[in-house]
Amino acid sequence: MSLKIKESEVDIVIAALRSDLTAFLEAWRPFFSPFHIIIVKDPDMEEDLKIPPGFDLQLYTKSDMEGVAGATSINFSGHSCRYFGYLVSCRKYIISIDDDCFPAKDSTGVLINNAVAQHLTNLENPATPFFFNTLYDPYREGTDFVRGYPFSLRNGVDCVLSCGLLLNVADYDSPTQAAKPSERNARYVDAVLTVPIGSMMPVSGINIAFNREALGPALLPGLRLPGEGKRRWETMEDIWSGLCAKAVCDHLGVGVKSGLPYVWRNEAADGGSAIESLKREWEGVKLMEEVVPFFQSVQLQKTLVKAEDCVAEIAAMVREKLGPLNPAYAQAAAAMEEWVNLWKALGSQGV
């Protein structure tokens, strides 16, 4: 059941929140150069982007976004600008990495993993969400399903979302970051595993890949925090998006993997203070207390077989159940509904 993804089927989508992408793109050049790249510039950024030559790339700036999406209520600023890239891509698969992340290397400079290749491998091979394999990914070389794994489940299902991890600066929220400012993730866990059906998880948008054809509309700019900023620990948009995506995947019976690949995430160049962010972003952390139980209880109608219809139904449920609790949720529902409209208008044809 394993397929082989062609380079021409992949878009690499980069949200540019930093104006100088030279170091980033040069570091990734050996891995990105076979692929088409979409760079979406944060519409709030005034400076021009510095992009080294020699890439097959398309750049979208604020005016492009306004031209394409028109008068949409979707707020694409900050990290959410990447969703514009997902929307306009006309390729089947997307890989998206934050612009402060680099190929993971060990202390001697040796590459630990090829993140692009590993994401594609994850999407090429089946996922196994219905029963947990204690040796992790059974399709990896050197391993298999263990004794006791039902044979009828060994074909697996399509993997449509691959969630990678971070070495160095892990993806912590601001309270954790503030409490452990010098903690660094040095643990390389050599595993890919399928996140079981029914199990929700926090998807970090920093290092992901997905099957746009199967899942596209489910990765969306939904929840925007009132004090949302440009640093990852000041956002929950990817966490919300990931919970949506997982609920949709569980409903459609397709798989989500977590684990390899790792990318190396740098310290915030501007020395961002988690404590300062905490003062602004504590609300976001509290919202998870309501958001997670909501997504854990989402049950979609059996007749829904397309991701966009699933998203529309989740949006209605958000409006009804979460809307009354906080204005941020009502806005998220509205954003999701608008996103489905945009996707139907633009996303299925590509631009």
Applying CB under 8 A, which residues contact another protein?
A: 131-136, 140, 142-153, 163, 165, 170-173, 175-176, 180, 183-191, 195-204, 232-233, 236, 239, 242, 258, 285, 288-289, 292, 296
CB of 175 to another protein, least distance (A): 8
- Alpha-carbon dihedral angle through residues 310, 330, 17, 12, given to the nearest 10 degrees: 0
CB of 295 to another protein, least distance (A): 10
Give the whole-angstrom CA distance, residue 145 versus residue 5.
24
CB of 297 to another protein, least distance (A): 12
49 vs 196, beta carbon nearer another protein = 196
225 vs 252, beta carbon nearer another protein = 225
39 touches 21 (CB < 8 A): yes
Give the whole-angstrom CA distance, residue 264 versus residue 293.
32
CB of 255 to another protein, least distance (A): 13
CB of 163 to another protein, least distance (A): 7
Give the whole-angstrom CA distance, residue 266 versus residue 270.
11
43 vs 261, beta carbon nearer another protein = 261
CB of 196 to another protein, least distance (A): 4
CB of 301 to another protein, least distance (A): 21
How many CA atoms lie less than 13 Å away from 25 in the CB half-sphere?
Answer: 26
Q: Which of 76, 233, 257, 261 minimizes the C-alpha distance to 169?
A: 233
196 vs 227, beta carbon nearer another protein = 196
What pairs with residue 57 in β-bridges?
37
11 vs 234, beta carbon nearer another protein = 234
Residue 48 parent element (H or E) = none
DSSP secondary structure letter of residue 231 = S
65 vs 243, beta carbon nearer another protein = 243
Long-range CB contacts (< 8 A, 24+ apart) of 166-170?
A: 166/101, 166/204, 166/206, 166/207, 166/262, 166/263, 166/264, 166/265, 167/104, 167/112, 167/262, 167/263, 167/264, 167/265, 168/264, 168/265, 168/266, 168/267, 169/265, 169/266, 169/267, 169/268, 170/265
259 vs 323, beta carbon nearer another protein = 259
CB of 203 to another protein, least distance (A): 8
Q: Is 327 exposed, middle or buried (0-12, 13-18, 19+ CB in 10 A)?
A: exposed
Q: Is 186 exposed, middle or buried (0-12, 13-18, 19+ CB in 10 A)?
A: exposed
16 vs 197, beta carbon nearer another protein = 197
The pair of three-digit structure tokens given for residue 240, joined into one six-digit string: 């919300």
209 vs 236, beta carbon nearer another protein = 236
CB of 171 to another protein, least distance (A): 5
Q: Is 31 exposed, middle or buried (0-12, 13-18, 19+ CB in 10 A)?
A: middle
